[in-house]
Amino acid sequence: MYTKTLHWSVWLSSVAVTATIIVGWWSVAGSDSTLSTNASVVNSHEVKVVELRGVWSGYQVKPDWDTATQKLSAANFNAVFPYVCSSGIAYYHSQVLPVSQFAQQHDYLAEAVSAAHKHNIAVHARVLALEMLFAAEQTKAAFAAAGRLMTNSQGETAPWLCPTDPRNRQLLERIVTELVTHYDIDGLQFDYLRYPGRDYCLCQRCRRQFAADTGAQISQWPQDVLPGGPGAPQFNKWRQEQLTALLSDLVAQARAARPDIVISAAVFPRWAEHSARFGQDAARWVQLGLLDFVAPMNYTADRLDFATWLLTQRKAIGGRVPLVVGMGPLSDACQFDGPEQLAEQIQIARSFGAGGFIIFKYTDQFAQEYLPYLAEDATATLASP
Ligand SMILES: [Zn+2]
């Protein structure tokens, strides 16, 4: 924890904030001896513990990054998580990925970093790791022709990179290295580090790799590894291991290039069910120390669901890293009554000892309806004590 404490202080100094990040959980969970020790380490180094208050956003915000980050700063927020690339297109001046035509003139990430740091807002570049979202048709076709895409039980491909293909792993490593070395970003967040569903990836390379790794004898592929099949539990576990190994590689790459980089992942909320369905084993990622904090997308307007998810996530994390709660007032997944409901979720998250929150997402509506309300309510005081 000593190292991690320094880690946070480095991160903060990089955004010119003297006091630091994260977490009520250190102070709230004082009854736990381990956490109490951490709190004393924090105090002995005079590093203040503050709450992470962030927003997810697109690669661009209206009217511009300077205005948006100034507004966020005025409302006592301290972090933005812009979408910077998928595995098929970049919104920054990438030398690895095809660059979006919108980003030919603007390097959106460079603009975000420059503006955000001016207003003491940290930038966590959000990478859509395996999905080729918004990639050009010709890019997707080239990947399909090269046999690099995920395949389902019908033999159909989806525009998602198969994680067992070494070419795909190298591509992702190069993206990560490029981002952390060319941009003064404070953090890197992995999103879409998952399979699209239980029916992926069933390509021949995954079949061979699964057999080689486990020694499993599969007589009927893919029926035997699909739900209900005799090899399904083993295959499911193996699928999760593929993504965990991929994340481990990417994190090692990022930390080797930038030891101070803050690594996180945006993950689905119901970890037991979703790890089986999407191969995303967030609890394991935390156990292995791959993340500096975890951000479950707890997109619901239902109070009981929200609290239940928080409780199970907190238990799975076991105090290892901060739980930074994703909230979705403007997501497609739920309908909020208004900013009061978001303010209430923030208070609930705090009562569960969360280290902060990230809101989906920064839009005109958020800036006009939600931010002014929060500035008078849940974020009226500074994030630092
Ligand atoms: Zn595959």
What's the gap in Å between 208 CA and the centre of ligand 1? 9
What's the gap in Å between 165 CA and the centre of ligand 1? 7
- Structure tokens belonging to residue 125: 């570049």
Contact call for residues 359 and 54 (beta carbons, < 8 A):
yes
* Rounded Cα–Cα distance for residues 133 and 135 (Å): 5
What's the gap in Å between 196 CA and the centre of ligand 1? 12
What's the gap in Å between 381 CA and the centre of ligand 1? 49
Q: Measured between alpha carbons, how far is residue 281 from residues 118, 137, 207, 286, 287 in Å?
A: 36, 31, 21, 9, 10
The pLDDT assigned to 214 comes to: 97
What's the gap in Å between 266 CA and the centre of ligand 1? 23
What's the gap in Å between 91 CA and the centre of ligand 1? 27
Topology annotation, domain 2-202+242-376: TIM Barrel (3.20.20)
Other beta carbons within 10 Å of 1: 15
What's the gap in Å between 279 CA and the centre of ligand 1? 13
What's the gap in Å between 286 CA and the centre of ligand 1? 25
The pLDDT assigned to 46 comes to: 41
* Rounded Cα–Cα distance for residues 29 and 333 (Å): 31
What's the gap in Å between 275 CA and the centre of ligand 1? 17
What's the gap in Å between 272 CA and the centre of ligand 1? 23
What's the gap in Å between 73 CA and the centre of ligand 1? 43
What's the gap in Å between 296 CA and the centre of ligand 1? 26
What's the gap in Å between 166 CA and the centre of ligand 1? 11
Question: How buried is residue 156: exposed, middle or buried, by Cβ count under 10 Å (0-12/13-18/19+)?
Answer: exposed
What's the gap in Å between 245 CA and the centre of ligand 1? 14
Name the residue type at position 297.
Answer: M
What's the gap in Å between 148 CA and the centre of ligand 1? 8
What's the gap in Å between 147 CA and the centre of ligand 1? 9
The pLDDT assigned to 222 comes to: 97
Q: Where in the chain are the domains? A: 2-202+242-376
The pLDDT assigned to 87 comes to: 97
The pLDDT assigned to 270 comes to: 96
The pLDDT assigned to 5 comes to: 35
What's the gap in Å between 274 CA and the centre of ligand 1? 19
What's the gap in Å between 200 CA and the centre of ligand 1? 7
What's the gap in Å between 198 CA and the centre of ligand 1? 13
What's the gap in Å between 239 CA and the centre of ligand 1? 10
Regions in the chain scoring below 50 on pLDDT? 1-48
Contact call for residues 56 and 361 (beta carbons, < 8 A):
yes
Question: How buried is residue 288: exposed, middle or buried, by Cβ count under 10 Å (0-12/13-18/19+)?
Answer: middle
What's the gap in Å between 206 CA and the centre of ligand 1? 4
Question: How buried is residue 40: exposed, middle or buried, by Cβ count under 10 Å (0-12/13-18/19+)?
Answer: exposed
Strand partners, 81: 56
What's the gap in Å between 149 CA and the centre of ligand 1? 7
What's the gap in Å between 278 CA and the centre of ligand 1? 14
The pLDDT assigned to 384 comes to: 79
Task: Look at residues 161, 174, 162 and name the one whose alpha carbon lies nearest to residue 133.
Answer: 161
Residue by residue, what is the 3-state secondary structure of the chain? CHHHHHHHHHHHHHCCCCCCCCCHHHHHCCCCHHHHHHHHHHHHCCCCCCCEEEEEECCCCCCCHHHHHHHHHHCCCCEEEEEEECCCCECCCCCCCCECHHHCCCCHHHHHHHHHHHCCCEEEEEEECCECCCCCHHHHHHHHHCCCEEECCCCCEEEEECCCCHHHHHHHHHHHHHHHHHCCCCEEEEECCCCCCCCCCCCHHHHHHHHHHHCCCCCCCCHHHCCCCCCHHHHHHHHHHHHHHHHHHHHHHHHHHCCCCEEEEEECCCHHHHHHHHCCCHHHHHHCCCCCEEEEECCCCCHHHHHHHHHHHHHHHCCCCCEEEEECCCCCCCCCCCHHHHHHHHHHHHHCCCCEEEEECCCHHHHHHHHHHHHHCCCCCCCCC
* Rounded Cα–Cα distance for residues 157 and 91 (Å): 25
The pLDDT assigned to 75 comes to: 98
